Chain A
């Protein structure tokens, strides 16, 4: 699993998130990746993104792209301190063939997107009975 270049061209999709968020106009979110044998789990920090404003896509080249459209609006007023920039999120990963592209699920909670990508049945570990 390799991370793709942030400037990689992404084919435009149909939904508004697809069109609005592109690698060149968005920020790279912090990601944790877990492997529990059954599946890969991606945890992606997307503060300010509302449910329904996220897109998870996997293309024919096994590139998983994750996009989030920010709905948070900055309050009015002069900026006095700025530790973070406000904008959309984009991140892409190249995924190995052993994962089941058709059964990816996602959930957004407290500004964190969780993506679960199960391994294909045939590559899941299984315990083999040894007959003496």
Chain B
């Protein structure tokens, strides 16, 4: 016969299972928005795409632009802390791919990306045609 395990521990294990089932961020793709979360800012000359990529080192991120779509791919890996038990998981984990449709013509050879404190900022300069212009009204 097996010894009865600590009831509190059992209870804790069940709670964790429930947490996992109802977690806000169980897997990629089932959330409202997919990791990484992205904001777009439209200024006169440049379109900015900002993505939150906490815990992803620079070398694990790849950015591509093709046919009017910007794709951010990468991988987020958790650190290992020896023989540790994960008591709570809210951070997303694993491979990710985010495709952002760019709604205007941009100079694809002038795209720049900056990575700082887990924030990725991609600047996409607009072509002259895509920039807003003032139209003189004739009477």
Where the two chains meet, the residues of A that have a C-beta atom closer than 8 Å to any C-beta of B are: 1, 30-38, 40-41, 43, 45-50, 71-72, 74-84, 86, 110-112, 114
- From residue 55 to 86 of chain B, which have CB atoms closer than 8 A to chain A? 55-57, 78-79, 81-86
> Are A77 and B46 touching (Cβ within 8 A)?
yes
> CA–CA, A96 to B131, complex, Å?
58
> Are B39 and A50 touching (Cβ within 8 A)?
no
Where the two chains meet, the residues of B that have a C-beta atom closer than 8 Å to any C-beta of A are: 25, 33, 37-44, 46-48, 50, 52-57, 78-79, 81-92, 100, 103, 116-119, 121, 123
A sample of 17 cross-chain residue pairs with beta-carbon separation below 8 angstroms, ordered by A number, consists of: A33-B86, A35-B84, A36-B85, A37-B83, A46-B118, A47-B53, A48-B118, A74-B50, A75-B43, A77-B41, A77-B47, A80-B103, A83-B33, A83-B38, A86-B39, A110-B57, A111-B119
For residue B25, which residues in chain A have a CB less than 8 angstroms away from its CB?
Answer: 30
For residue B116, which residues in chain A have a CB less than 8 angstroms away from its CB?
Answer: 72
For residue A74, which residues in chain B have a CB less than 8 angstroms away from its CB?
Answer: 39, 41, 50
